[in-house]
Structure 1
Amino acid sequence: MSSDREGEEVPATQTGNRFLERLARGPAIVADGGMGALLSAAVPRLRTPEEANLRAPEAVVSLHVSFINAGAELIETNTFGANRRKLGHHFLEDQLEEINSAAVKLAREAREVTGRDVFIGGSIGPIGEPLASRVRREIFAEQAAVLEGRGADLFMVETFYDLEEVVDAIEAARSASGLPIVALLTFDEGAETIAGVTAAEAAQRLRELDVAAIGANHGAGLLAALAALERMGKDGIPLAALPNVGLASLAGGRVIYPHAAPEYFAEFAAHARDLGARVIGGCCGTTPAEIAAIHSAVEEERKPRAPLQFDERELVVSLGEEQRETGLSRALRENEWIISVQLDPPLGGSSVGLVEVARALQESGRVGFVDINDNATARAGMSSLMVSATIERECGIETIPHLTTRDWSVMGLESMLLGSHAEGVRNVLAITGDPPEVGDYPGARGVYEIDAVGLTQLITNLNRGEDFNGRPIDGPTSFFHGVAVNPNADDLDLELERFQQKLEAGARFAMTQIVFELECLDRFAERLGGSWPIPVLVGVFPVTSYRLALRLHNEVPGIVVPDDLQNALQDAGSEAAEIGFEHARMLIAESRRFAGVYVVAPFRKPLRVLELL
Structure 2
Amino acid sequence: MRLDQALQEKTLIGDGAMGTLLYSYGVDRCFEEMNLSHAKEVRNVHKAYVRAGADVIQTNTYGANYIKLSRYGLEDHVKAINTAAVQLAKEAAGEDAYVVGTIGGIRDIQKEIPSMEELKRSFREQLYCLLMEDIDGLIFETFYDLEELTTVLEIARQETDLPLITQVSMHEPGVMQNGMPLMDALQLLEQKGADVVGVNCRLGPYHMIQSLEDVPLPDKAVLSAYPNASLPDYEDGRLIYPTDPTYFRTSALDLYRQGARLIGGCCGTTPEHIAAVAKEVKGRQPITDKVVPIKHPSVPKQADASNREDHLHDIAKERRSIIVELDPPKKLNTEKYLRGAKALKDAGVDSVTLADNSLASPRISNTAMATIIKQEYAINPLVHIACRDRNLIGLQSHLMGLHTLGIREVLAVTGDPTKIGDFPGATSVYDLSSFDLIHYIKQLNEGISFSGKSLGEKTDFSVAAAFNPNVRNLNRAVGRLEKKISYGADYFISQPVYCEKQMVEVYEATKHLTTPIYIGIMPLTSSRNAEFLHHEVPGIKLSQEIRESMEKHSHDKELSQAEGIAIAKSLIDAALDLFNGIYLITPFLRYEMTVELTEYIKQQTEKQERKISNGIHII
Q: Structure 1 length as normaliser, TM-score? A: 0.81
Give the residue type in structure 2 aligned to 1:81: G
Structure 1 residues 229, 42: closer, same or farther in 2, change over 3 A?
A: farther
Paired position in structure 2 for 1:12: none
Deviation for aligned residue 1:82: 0.7
1:45-444 superposed matches below 5 A: 45-46=28-29, 48-111=30-93, 117-128=96-107, 136=119, 139-150=122-133, 152-174=135-157, 177-187=160-170, 189-208=172-191, 211-226=194-209, 227-228=211-212, 230-235=214-219, 237-248=221-232, 254-257=238-241, 259-298=242-281, 314-318=298-302, 320-321=304-305, 324-326=308-310, 332=316, 335=319, 338=322, 340-346=324-330, 352-354=332-334, 357-362=337-342, 365-366=346-347, 368=349, 369-393=351-375, 396-409=378-391, 412-440=394-422
User: Unaligned 5+ residue runs, structure 1?
Assistant: 1-16
SS in 2 for 1:320: coil
Give the residue type in structure 1 aligned to 2:178: A
1:549 paired to 2:530: yes
- Are the aligned partners of 2:50 and 2:96 in contact in 1 as well (CA < 8 Å)? no
1:603 paired to 2:583: no
Residues 266-316 of structure 1: CA deviation (Å, up to 9, x unaligned): 232112222322211111122333323212222596999xx9989876444
1:591 paired to 2:572: yes
Structure 1 residues 168, 333: closer, same or farther in 2, change over 3 A?
A: closer
Structure 1 residues 63, 393: closer, same or farther in 2, change over 3 A?
A: farther
Cα distance in 1 for residues equivalent to 2:226 and 2:373: 50
- Are the aligned partners of 1:41 and 1:254 in contact in 2 as well (CA < 8 Å)? no
Deviation for aligned residue 1:166: 3.0
Cα distance in 2 for residues equivalent to 1:308 and 1:263: 27
SS in 1 for 2:177: coil
Residues 114-135 of structure 1: CA deviation (Å, up to 9, x unaligned): xx82332221112436677776
Cα distance in 2 for residues equivalent to 1:247 and 1:320: 37
SS in 2 for 1:289: helix
Cα distance in 1 for residues equivalent to 2:363 and 2:42: 46
Paired position in structure 1 for 2:493: 511
Identity of aligned residues (%): 31
Residues 548-580 of structure 1: CA deviation (Å, up to 9, x unaligned): 211212233442333343223323333145323
Residues 219-273 of structure 1: CA deviation (Å, up to 9, x unaligned): 433244333375141436432111223444656654444x234343223211222
SS in 2 for 1:574: coil
- Are the aligned partners of 1:322 and 1:477 in contact in 2 as well (CA < 8 Å)? no
Give the residue type in structure 2 aligned to 1:361: A
SS in 2 for 1:279: strand
Cα distance in 2 for residues equivalent to 1:120 and 1:248: 28
- Are the aligned partners of 2:187 and 2:218 in contact in 1 as well (CA < 8 Å)? no
Cα distance in 2 for residues equivalent to 1:534 and 1:139: 35
Give the residue type in structure 2 aligned to 1:379: S
Residues 386-425 of structure 1: CA deviation (Å, up to 9, x unaligned): 5423443455433222222344455643332222111222
- Are the aligned partners of 1:269 and 1:294 in contact in 2 as well (CA < 8 Å)? yes
The farther-off stretch of 327-336 and 453-462 is 327-336
Residues 331-383 of structure 1: CA deviation (Å, up to 9, x unaligned): 6577365352421453x7xxx42365124531673364432112322334454
User: Unaligned 5+ residue runs, structure 2?
Assistant: 600-619
The farther-off stretch of 93-102 and 204-213 is 204-213
Structure 1 residues 578, 401: closer, same or farther in 2, change over 3 A?
A: farther
Structure 1 residues 296, 395: closer, same or farther in 2, change over 3 A?
A: farther
Paired position in structure 2 for 1:36: 19
Higher RCO, Cα 8 Å, sep 6+: 2
Deviation for aligned residue 1:516: 3.2
Structure 1 residues 578, 454: closer, same or farther in 2, change over 3 A?
A: farther
Cα distance in 2 for residues equivalent to 1:471 and 1:267: 28
Deviation for aligned residue 1:215: 1.7
SS in 2 for 1:200: helix
Residues 169-206 of structure 1: CA deviation (Å, up to 9, x unaligned): 34544555554332222245553321344333344344
Cα distance in 2 for residues equivalent to 1:391 and 1:252: 47
Structure 1 residues 268, 329: closer, same or farther in 2, change over 3 A?
A: same
Cα distance in 2 for residues equivalent to 1:272 and 1:497: 48
Cα distance in 1 for residues equivalent to 2:558 and 2:45: 72
Paired position in structure 2 for 1:499: 481
Cα distance in 2 for residues equivalent to 1:302 and 1:353: 74
1:539 paired to 2:520: yes
The farther-off stretch of 367-376 and 144-153 is 144-153
SS in 1 for 2:22: helix
Number of residue pairs matched by the alignment: 584
Cα distance in 1 for residues equivalent to 2:157 and 2:582: 59
Structure 1 residues 606, 103: closer, same or farther in 2, change over 3 A?
A: same
- Are the aligned partners of 1:241 and 1:279 in contact in 2 as well (CA < 8 Å)? yes
SS in 1 for 2:347: coil
Cα distance in 2 for residues equivalent to 1:330 and 1:202: 35
The farther-off stretch of 437-446 and 509-518 is 437-446
Deviation for aligned residue 1:107: 2.8
Structure 1 residues 74, 527: closer, same or farther in 2, change over 3 A?
A: closer
- Are the aligned partners of 1:545 and 1:580 in contact in 2 as well (CA < 8 Å)? yes
Paired position in structure 1 for 2:616: none
- Are the aligned partners of 1:326 and 1:426 in contact in 2 as well (CA < 8 Å)? no
Structure 1 residues 519, 141: closer, same or farther in 2, change over 3 A?
A: closer
Give the residue type in structure 1 aligned to 2:412: A
Deviation for aligned residue 1:477: 1.4
Cα distance in 1 for residues equivalent to 2:453 and 2:31: 31
Structure 1 residues 322, 86: closer, same or farther in 2, change over 3 A?
A: farther
Give the residue type in structure 2 aligned to 1:96: V
Over the aligned positions, Cα root-mean-square deviation in angstroms equals 3.9
- Are the aligned partners of 1:485 and 1:510 in contact in 2 as well (CA < 8 Å)? yes
Cα distance in 2 for residues equivalent to 1:246 and 1:397: 49
Structure 1 residues 172, 328: closer, same or farther in 2, change over 3 A?
A: closer
Deviation for aligned residue 1:500: 3.3
Cα distance in 1 for residues equivalent to 2:170 and 2:92: 31
1:462 paired to 2:444: yes
SS in 2 for 1:182: strand
Q: Structure 2 length as normaliser, TM-score? A: 0.81
Deviation for aligned residue 1:467: 5.0
Cα distance in 2 for residues equivalent to 1:361 and 1:205: 52
